[in-house]
Amino acid sequence: MMAQYLALKEQAADCLLFYRMGDFFELFFDDAKIAAQVLDIALTSRGEHGGAPIPMCGVPVHSAEGYLARLIKAGCRVAIAEQVETPEEAKKRGGSKALVARDIVRFVTAGTLTEEALLEPRRANVLAAVCEVRGVIGVAACDISTGRMELEECSADQMGAALARLGASEVVASDSWDQAPVDCVPRPNRSFSSDEGETRLKALHGVSTLDGFGQFTRAMLAAAGGLITYLDHVGRGALPLLLPPVAREAGTHMAMDEATRASLEILVSSTGTRRGSLVEAIDRCVTGAGARLLAEDLSAPLTDARAINRRLELVSWLHDDPLLRGDIRGILRALPDVGRALGRVVAGRGSPRDLGQLRDGLSEARRLHDLLRARSDLPEPMVSLLPALSGHGALTDLYARALVPAPPTERSQGGFIAEGYDAGLDELRRVSGNARRAIAALEAKYRDETGIAALKIRHNGVLGYFIEVPAKHGDRLMAPDSGFTHRQTMAGAVRFNALALHEEASRIAESGGHSLAAEEAHFEDLVGHAVRAREAIAATAAALARIDVAAGQAERAAEGGWALPRVVDEPCLEITGGRHPVVEAALAAKGDRFVANDCYLNTPRPARAEPVEAPPRNAHPSTSSGWAGGAGAGTSRLWLVGGPNMGGKSTFLRQNALIVLLAQAGGFVPAQAAKVGMVDRLFSRVGAADNLARGRSTFMVEMVETAAILSQATERSFVILDEVGRGTSTYDGLALAWAVAEAVHSINRCRCLFATHYHELARLAETCDALSLHHVRAREWKGDLVLLHELAEGPADKSYGLAVARLAGVPAPVIKRARSVLDKLEKGRAATGGLAAGLGDLPLFAAAIEAAEEKVDALRERLNGLDIDALSPREALDLLYELKAQANG
Ligand code: ADP
């Protein structure tokens, strides 16, 4: 047996091998140790191998799914080795000692799941394959639980962003590619060829050309080759549901890199879970498929105004009609997950219950179709969804006739084909029913005849039907002429057989076997119907999901009083009364109110907007003139946002990025009104100090990310930069923040919100005509700091650092000491004046000031001497590194 085990294990070296033995899957050696630890089950041992006992553990077959789920979650891959012949067949083949043949029937991996119990209902489960073809990256992705498949190509530096958007749970790549993503599953290089991909796709969909599906490049096809070959490998030749591939064109979606996605907490929050994420705050879908599509929409907002407006039109129509919305959501709520049921059925892992789900889901789709068709005010996008909701009449009729109302998940016991569907099956069932009744009658008859009231007819797996009497009556039936034959004597009972009972029992066994075979044949036939209609069924599932997303977005908008955004093609941003959906929800849970704020980039500020504050009297000397910048407050595209910590700067930055994202994903936005100029790339960066948990050289990470913005942001991009430069020493940080702000302003010329606590940056307003100064307001009241979370124009008046420290509970003596140090520093500033005075304002040890001043002056000279417009992004980046090196001395 060990030889067989080891041979199988060799085929599954990177997996835990589940080795079927009777009613258990057993694991041996290191597999057993890993599984015992992950699953918290007992580790035992068995026999020996190489002189040492073999570690072993096992899980019962009937509850294997739950254990599998935990192993997959823990990052393991599992190979399932089943018995592929019965013990009888083995004996026939190789004598009484023959070992039952076993083979790996399937690999269970994170990206190739279809089982309901192993999948999260509200999350797509994506498997991706990536490869490189002459410098171009090909990406193929599929969700085999629903069959969706998508191909794209991108440049090498965009690979990370593409994979981040897909959020794949498993990525495969060539084993000979040195740039392959970390943690990917290595696969033979030959499977990543465009010929392989093309041949496989054509065979899969029975076409002679792929042109009907779209235009696919060599890189895309090579990735598809790698993907399909892998699926073939893990399914041991049985391919799952794969719908025709869709080519994703570059530029049809808003680009967001991994850091941006993480910092905006789109699908998962910083805790790594859905809790506290954007999607959690938005999702009002009533079906799992809707929730999955919403997550996809939020991961890949559109850049095509027509497509966005079609989505908005649908949401808006449902928003304006709460009654209709309620009716639609009522129907959707009761829907089974049609897409995933189809995925299981096509993959050959379907159950009668899955067929029942298809029947119920498709009939409900029809009901929704009829409800909608009766309306005279359907918007165009709904008109085009309607046809996909119907057209399954023949299939649902067939399933309705063929299946019982609530079919079981287990098909080996039968009992799922409805009465009246197959006369032959009904007859078999009648025979077996009659026989059962006859057996019940026999029991009464035998009691009567023998006079033993305690006589019973019973059934078990070993003996089949038998007659049982208490031991004290046993002798009476032992008599040769009693008509009973002895079968077994137990402690308190004796068991017999009788001719009539035997005959009825044989009838039951025979008709039972025949009816199981008949049901099995019907099952295959019913599955065949679904497989043939798979594309139409998937289209219905997709239409239902789209309607659910639109209705859910409308519901969310109605709940929060959100606005229909206007998406335009000029690079502006006009948000009135914007809110952050996640922070607002968190505050609401505590009974607090969120303060709405406006944001106007590249657009004149409406005259009626909040009263513009005069520059505070104690404003920084260097900014007391012309703080709003040369262009005036109205038309800036870069807002510098200052103010105390905890004042709401990050929240303000992110809420505007999220509003853009939500609008381009085709939903309402948390604002009073919003006009969003189409954004091609969205960047969000948080100063390194906020990211300490990442445990890398955080400043380096921050700079790499900043470099990406400087090289990639265009005039159509939107960038939020939160406390850039915070991860290094004060002077480095200031110099970098300064240079980055200038570069973003003058070279990238994108829309940008830039939060900083460096007052000195306010001076940028003097030279950068499209930059304006803003701050989050705070007041000191009776010695306490009151954060108003309200955005106002002009520079921040002071840093309130000590007040925030007191708010945070720093002990009074420390605050007092800090105040006296601060007084000293401020006196020093008054004595020196100029930029150096500004630097004295910074949270720096007094002793360091002198030594560093010289360097900063040199930096300042270099910065002042720069002709920024003449710099290429590459030169700007190099300069940043130089400046940093210079500042570090
Ligand atoms: P900063 O970036 O200025 O340090 P944050 O944006 O992190 O400040 O905000 C700190 C806290 O203040 C948030 O967690 C939230 O509770 C609260 N807050 C922020 N913005 C608002 C707002 N507009 N209205 C109400 N509370 C807010």
Burial class (CB in 10 A: 0-12, 13-18, 19+), 828: middle
User: 625 vs 216, 611, 616, 763, 767, CA distance in Å?
Assistant: 58, 19, 12, 10, 12
Ligand 1 centre and the CA of 789: distance in Å? 6
Classified as helix, coil or strand, 76 is: coil
Q: Is 647 in the pocket of ligand 1 (CB under 6 A)?
A: yes
pLDDT (0 to 100) of residue 688? 57
Q: Report pTM.
A: 0.83
Write 175-182 long-range contacts (CB < 8 A, 24+): 177/131, 177/132, 179/132, 180/130, 181/130
Query: pLDDT, tens digit, for every residue of 843-883?
Result: 333 333 444 555 667 788 788 888 777 788 888 888 888 88
Of ligand 1's listed atoms, the one at least distance from the Cα of 755 is 2
User: Do 454 and 443 meet the contact criterion of CB atoms below 8 Å apart?
Assistant: no
What's the first-to-final CA gap in the chain, in angstroms?
Answer: 69
Q: Is 646's C-beta closer than 6 angstroms to any atom of ligand 1?
A: yes
Q: How far apart are CA 509 and CA 411, in angstroms?
A: 18
Q: What is the pLDDT of residue 855?
A: 63
* Calpha distance 218→766 (Å, rounded): 52
> 70: exposed, middle or buried (C-beta count within 10 Å: 0-12, 13-18, 19+)?
middle
**pLDDT for residue 607:** 63
Query: If DSSP states are collapsed to H, E and C, what string results for 590-608?
Result: CCCCCCCEEEEECCCCCCC
- How many Å apart are CA 150 and CA 140, to the nearest integer? 6
What is the tens place of the pLDDT at every residue in 711-745?
899 999 999 999 887 766 777 788 888 889 999 99
Give pLDDT, residue 853.
56
Residues with Cβ within 8 Å of residue 25, at least 6 apart in sequence: 18, 19, 58, 59, 61, 64, 80
Torsion of CA 777, 783, 784, 786, to 10 degrees: -20
Cα(663)–Cα(211) distance, integer angstroms: 33
Q: CA quadruple 616, 617, 621, 626: dihedral positive or negative?
A: positive
Give the C-alpha separation, 337 to 340, whole Å: 6
Separation between Cα atoms, residue 234 and residue 106, nearest integer Å = 6
Query: Are 531 and 147 a contacting pair, CB within 8 Å?
Result: no
* 580 C-alpha to ligand 1 centroid (Å): 10
- Decide: 228 and 239 in contact? Cβ < 8 Å: yes
Site to probe by mutation for ligand 1, drawn from 757, 774, 789 as the one with most ligand atoms within 8 Å of Cβ, is: 789
Give the pLDDT confidence score for residue 463 in this predicted structure. 86
If one counts every other C-beta atom within 10 angstroms of the C-beta of residue 311, the result is 20
Ligand 1 contacts CB of residue 753 (under 6 A): no
Q: Please give the C-alpha separations between residue 760 and each of 446, 626, 764, 841, in angstroms, as whole numbers.
A: 104, 14, 8, 9
d(CA 658, CA 560): 15
Extract the residue ranges of the chain whose pLDDT is less than 50. 609-633, 689-695, 833-851
Q: How far is the CA of 292 from the centre of ligand 1 (A)?
A: 30
At residue 658, φ and ψ (nearest 5 deg) are -70, -35
Q: Residue 789: CB within 6 Å of ligand 1?
A: yes
Predicted confidence at residue 442, as pLDDT, reads 93
Q: Could you report the per-residue pLDDT of 298-345, keeping only the tens digit for each?
A: 999 999 999 999 999 999 999 999 999 999 999 999 999 999 999 999
Q: Can you give the pLDDT at residue 830?
A: 64
Neighbours of 560 (CB within 10 A): 18
CA quadruple 457, 458, 463, 468: dihedral, nearest 10: -60
Q: Which residues of 238-247 are buried (b: 16+ CB within 10 A; e: fewer)?
A: ebbbbbbbee
* Cβ of 648 below 6 Å from ligand 1: yes
Q: Which atom of ligand 1 is nearest to the CA of 580?
A: 23
Cα 832 from chain centroid (whole Å): 56
Is the distance from the beta carbon of residue 583 to the nearest atom of ligand 1 less than 6 Å? yes
Query: How many angstroms does the Cα of residue 166 sit away from the middle of ligand 1?
Result: 30
Q: How far is the CA of 60 from the centre of ligand 1 (A)?
A: 52
